[in-house]
Amino acid sequence: MRDNVFNKKVFIKSVKENLMTQYRKDLSTASNQEIFQAVCISVKDVIMDEWLATQQTFAREQPKTVYYLSMEFLMGRALGNILLNLSAYDEVAEALQELGLDINAIEDEEPDPALGNGGLGRLAACFLDSLATLGYAACGCGIRYRYGMFKQQIIDGFQIEVPDNWLEHGYPFELRRPEYRYEVKFGGHVEQEVDENGKLSFVQKDYRSVWAIPHDMPIVGYKNNLIDTLIIWDAEAKEVFSLDSFDKGDYQKAVEEEMLARNLVDVLYPNDNHVAGKELRLKQQYFFVSASIQRAIERFKQKNDNLMDMPKKIVFQMNDTHPTVAVAELMRILLDDEHLEWDEAWEITTHCVAYTNHTIMAEALEKWPIEIFERLLPRVYQIIDEINRRFVLEVQARYPGNDEKIRKMAILYDGQVRMAHLAIVAGYSINGVAKLHTEILKKQELRDFYEMFPDKFNNKTNGITQRRFLGHGNRLLAKWVTDKVGDKWYTDLSVLKELTDYADNPKAQEEFMEIKHKNKVRLAKYIKEHNGIDVDTNSIFDVQVKRLHEYKRQLLNILHVMYLYNVIKENPDVDIYPRTFIFGAKAAAGYETAKKTIKLINNVAEVINNDSSINGKIKVVFIEDYKVSNAEMIFAAADVSEQISTASKEASGTGNMKFMLNGAITLGTLDGANVEMYDEVGADNIFIFGMSADEVIEHEKRHDYNPIDYYNNDPQIKKVLNQLIDGTYSANDRELFRTLYNALLHDKEADKYFILADFRSYAKAQQKVNRYYQDKNSWAKSAILNVANAGKFSSDRTIQEYVDDIWHLDKVKIDNTGA
């Protein structure tokens, strides 16, 4: 079937027909956006049959299904990825070429659905790709934000946030399904009633409610005819209010419901690893969680009549604490709607929900004021109160007289609902996202819980999908890999190991570096078009792209650039191989230090790039609007991957893996998954520097770190820091970077992320990079070995571990002879 439809002739005919029926245009008059839409309709036609066949197979075979509950799915563009997974990319590219069109230009017409902030949302997207490819029944459940992650503009070096109206032209791959809507209730109060059997029941009264309307997105498995679904929920008012309501006296209620629905899914909160505790966010959480659980239970009941069997068929994976209200919502439905007893409902819930922790950063731990919670979700709150009451009894029984334990472990404490505690008490599995991270959870952050429930804890080191980040993003390297080891790597990344044989081979090295160079030329072109900067494609491309956060230490990177610039100025003949420092990062809109860091990078770029006396030895580029679509191109072009977070702070990182897969060499701390990358690739092929996680944690405990010592004892560090406030990089406003200066030296928690402590060690590692790159063969060898050892970091491996250890899903085969 797929073969026929992607027969070039048939495809071209179909695109032309779509142009005609949709826009009454032909190829000569249609815009690229219209052609993009027409192409998508043709592709969607193909998908529809397989999607239906998959869903019919699921209905018939009833495989156990994972509902991946996530407030964020950072999908990136769909068209190219779908074509790749249908193995139709080349055919379609050729067909478009025959029509005089470049597939890249058509792909560029697609908005980048950015319904996520960063790592957590992108991980969810990679997981769906792997679930479909491995043949598992999965349903992603999220929110259809009308505005996703903001678009970033850099104006005069400052970040400006522009709304991302991704739905402006309509999104071709979504399917609105109003017939599967659910009601979600907010507010009001709870009344107890006695039903006809004399049983006490709880009823929510005087609530406001909205409809949750599902929009399905296809998740196309790689060459296996299986298509899973991502449901993103939109909110609609229950009734469009009319003046009639006025007469009925519930005008006010109608207006409120209209407003509720309108605001609910308006915008994604653009903070990563930080929560502000806004009431609307809790509404968003409950909204999508309630709808998703209602849907899962309804599906289950269509074929099963014993709810106690739910754990055999359903698992809800909670992506961080954001969907944790799922615990209480599932209990509520089982108790109030399905009339189960508490113990039965608890038995089901605690075998259906599992929780993934993505951070140890205190400011990212979700806690809701009880006042908000109780007002917004009165019945759900009652249930949490009861869960807490029972849990506290359990703790008391286990640790008699130990009030400290209760203070530390209770779900409700100090006027707050601690969402992580709710997830841990109810979840049957609790996992971290890299070995080091899970160890820190067990030994430090969640120590008391680990002591009480050791069997619940497990590690699932993150992964990434090689299909998007090598297959689609780096077609030249993908082809080279396939020429060397065959195409099995698309579904079994461990075969990359076979590239080891080529690492020492001069011809392979040359080919590899040639491909890297071509990818650098592609990125240089993009930089020229977007930044107007000429970069030397023979220079080392040294890249740090990720969300801007103090713990990720973009500041360390740019301070080092300032230091290097001083060194060159003082000694123009110093041996420094040309280097292009490339940054890309969005800062949360209200995060002042992060925004100042962006401004600093841009100002440093301005000074250095325009100083002809340094002969273009170093350049600095800030790529505007870093997002999934340009990320693919950036990874492909990188020589050096900067993964320089303060050890212990980055739970895993996933960008690090994307760089590795594309043959960049990591310059990093022993943090997150870097530790495991080091284990895989070996000490000779990675540049490690800085304090260890244990050292950092020790200093934090002892409060004995004093950055001033580094400032006083190291003249070069002193000089760089002084340049933050002497006008070197802000001639018109010397005070501009005072906050950064103070944050490093004078604030209450001065240099909280140990930048000065790690500076020398970082500079040394950078010097090593400088020397190593000049030995072309060694560099190429190490780069190839990075690709060869990236196999572990496929999300296929991660997902298989989730399946084996947590989800226990059934493998499904879709018969492609039908449809």
Q: Contact positions toward ligand BZD, by CB under 6 A? A: 117-120, 123, 271-273, 275, 358-359, 364, 433, 462, 650-654, 672
477 or 651, CB closer to ligand BZD?
Answer: 651
Q: How far is the CB of 651 from ligand BZD (least distance, A)?
A: 4
Give residue for tokens 């496929």.
Answer: 794
Write out the two tokens for 251: 């005008």
Among 345, 350, 324, which Cα is nearest to 334's?
Answer: 345
Residue 733 buriedness (CB in 10 A; 0-12 / 13-18 / 19+): exposed
120 or 420, CB closer to ligand BZD?
Answer: 120
Write out the two tokens for 347: 């038995």
Q: How far is the CB of 409 from ligand BZD (least distance, A)?
A: 22
281 or 484, CB closer to ligand BZD?
Answer: 281
86 or 123, CB closer to ligand BZD?
Answer: 123
Q: How far is the CB of 390 from ligand BZD (least distance, A)?
A: 28
Are the CB atoms for 107 and 32 separated by under 8 Å?
Answer: no
Q: How far is the CB of 271 from ligand BZD (least distance, A)?
A: 6
Mode of pairing for the β-strands spanning 540-545 and 430-432: unpaired
Write out the two tokens for 242: 């009319």
Q: How far is the CB of 68 from ligand BZD (least distance, A)?
A: 13
Are the CB atoms for 357 and 440 separated by under 8 Å?
Answer: no
Q: How far is the CB of 595 from ligand BZD (least distance, A)?
A: 18
268 or 340, CB closer to ligand BZD?
Answer: 268
Q: How far is the CB of 167 from ligand BZD (least distance, A)?
A: 22
Rounded distance between C-alpha atoms, residue 474 and residue 467, angstroms: 10
What are the DSSP calls for 340-395, one per residue? --HHHHHHHHHHHEEEE-----GGGS-EEEHHHHHHH-HHHHHHHHHHHHHHHHHH
311 or 672, CB closer to ligand BZD?
Answer: 672
30 or 434, CB closer to ligand BZD?
Answer: 434
Distances (CA, A) of 461 to 139, 364, 448, 796, 809: 21, 20, 23, 11, 19
Rounded distance between C-alpha atoms, residue 267 and residue 257, angstroms: 18
Half-sphere exposure of 396 (CA within 13 A, CB side): 8
Are the CB atoms for 558 and 600 separated by under 8 Å?
Answer: yes
What is the 8-class DSSP label of residue 162? E
19 or 141, CB closer to ligand BZD?
Answer: 141
Report which secondary-structure segment, H or E, holds 159: strand 158-162
539 or 795, CB closer to ligand BZD?
Answer: 795
Residue whose Cβ sits closest to ligand BZD:
119
Rounded distance between C-alpha atoms, residue 496 and residue 797, angstroms: 14
Instruction: Give catalytic residues, as residue numbers.
Output: 358, 546-547, 552, 654, 658
Q: How far is the CB of 816 from ligand BZD (least distance, A)?
A: 34
Half-sphere exposure of 746 (CA within 13 A, CB side): 6
Rounded distance between C-alpha atoms, residue 314 and residue 64, angstroms: 6
Q: How far is the CB of 123 from ligand BZD (least distance, A)?
A: 4
What are the DSSP calls for 726-785, one per residue? SSSS-TT-TTTTHHHHHHHHTSTTTTTT-HHHHHHHHHHHHHHHHHHHTSHHHHHHHHHH
123 or 799, CB closer to ligand BZD?
Answer: 123
Q: Under DSSP, is residue 65 helix (H, G, I), strand (E, B) or coil? A: strand
In sequence order, the 6+-apart residues with CB closer than 8 A to the CB of 736 are 596, 599, 603, 730
6 or 288, CB closer to ligand BZD?
Answer: 288
Dihedral sign, Cα of residue 759, residue 761, residue 764, residue 769: negative
Q: How far is the CB of 717 from ligand BZD (least distance, A)?
A: 28
Segments of 24-148 assigned E as strands: 65-69, 73-74, 114-115, 138-143
Report which secondary-structure segment, H or E, holds 50: helix 32-61
584 or 707, CB closer to ligand BZD?
Answer: 584
Tell me phi and psi for residue 218, to 5 degrees. Answer: -80, 140
Distances (CA, A) of 640 to 440, 631, 772, 808: 28, 15, 11, 39
> In angstroms, how far is CA 566 from the centroid of its own chain?
37
Write out the two tokens for 7: 């027969």
